[in-house]
């Protein structure tokens, strides 16, 4: 929890071998490759990238289970020379419910993570907090891998199409 009473995931990582321009390209690539879960909203002079994201909370063990809700959040990646800062904040939970066709759909009620749970919802809130922390660590790990890249644009091998011979068959 930060000084304003909001839950915030903050990670400052030093990257010594990567130049700031390459880090900016890596941050853009991070938003581009994770476009299903994270959307880039604004950029400030290649030093700060702001966006929004969404993650799905699962109820059950592993892949066996069903979605219990989704969490919307804001993401900020700020760059300085030899280091970057990842900030995930403004977590809003929207629980899922089963509709008449058996599908899990979001409800119309959304709650901020900072709202204190009652006695009955305490265990569910704790489970949601653990899931959010785990997913935030996964996002930070993905960003760390992406930012450690030292090339501005990784070169992809261009495959030449196979020549088709019409005389031999």
pLDDT tens column, 25-69? 888 888 988 888 898 888 888 789 999 999 998 887 766 788 889
Evaluate whether residue 131 is within a structural domain: yes
Answer whether 27's CB lies under 8 Å from 47's CB.
no
Evaluate whether residue 129 is within a structural domain: yes
Q: Count the neighbouring beta carbons within 10 Å of the beta carbon of residue 57.
A: 20
145 CB-side CA count, 13 A:
7
CATH number, domain of 79, equals 3.30.530.80
Evaluate whether residue 160 is within a structural domain: no
Whether the model clears a pTM of 0.85, i.e. scores above it, the answer is: no
Evaluate whether residue 163 is within a structural domain: no
Domain limits at 129?
Answer: 9-146
- Reading the block at residue 86, the tokens are 């990842």
Evaluate whether residue 30 is within a structural domain: yes
Nearest in space to 113 (alpha carbons), one of 134, 136, 90: 90
| Domains of the chain: total | 1
Answer whether 8's CB lies under 8 Å from 113's CB.
no
Q: What is the mean pLDDT of residues 83-92?
A: 92
The reported pLDDT for the residue numbered 24 is 87
Evaluate whether residue 38 is within a structural domain: yes
Evaluate whether residue 166 is within a structural domain: no
Return d(Cα 21, Cα 79) in angstroms, integer. Answer: 10
């Amino acid at each position: 929890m930060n000084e304003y009473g909001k839950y915030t995931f903050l990670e400052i990582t030093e990257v010594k071998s990567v130049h700031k321009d390459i880090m900016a390209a890596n941050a853009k690539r991070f938003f581009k490759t994770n476009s299903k879960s994270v959307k880039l909203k604004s950029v400030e002079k290649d030093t700060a990238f702001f966006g929004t994201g969404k993650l799905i909370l699962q109820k059950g063990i592993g892949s066996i289970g069903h979605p219990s809700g989704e969490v919307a959040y804001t993401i900020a990646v700020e760059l300085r020379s030899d280091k970057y800062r990842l900030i995930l904040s403004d977590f809003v939970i929207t629980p899922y419910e089963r509709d008449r066709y058996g599908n899990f759909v979001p409800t119309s009620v959304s709650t901020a993570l900072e709202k204190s749970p009652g006695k009955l919802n305490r265990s569910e809130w704790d489970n949601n907090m653990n899931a959010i922390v785990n997913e935030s660590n996964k996002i930070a790990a993905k960003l760390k891998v992406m930012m450690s890249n030292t090339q501005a644009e990784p070169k992809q091998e261009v495959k030449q199409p196979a020549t088709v011979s019409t005389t031999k068959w």
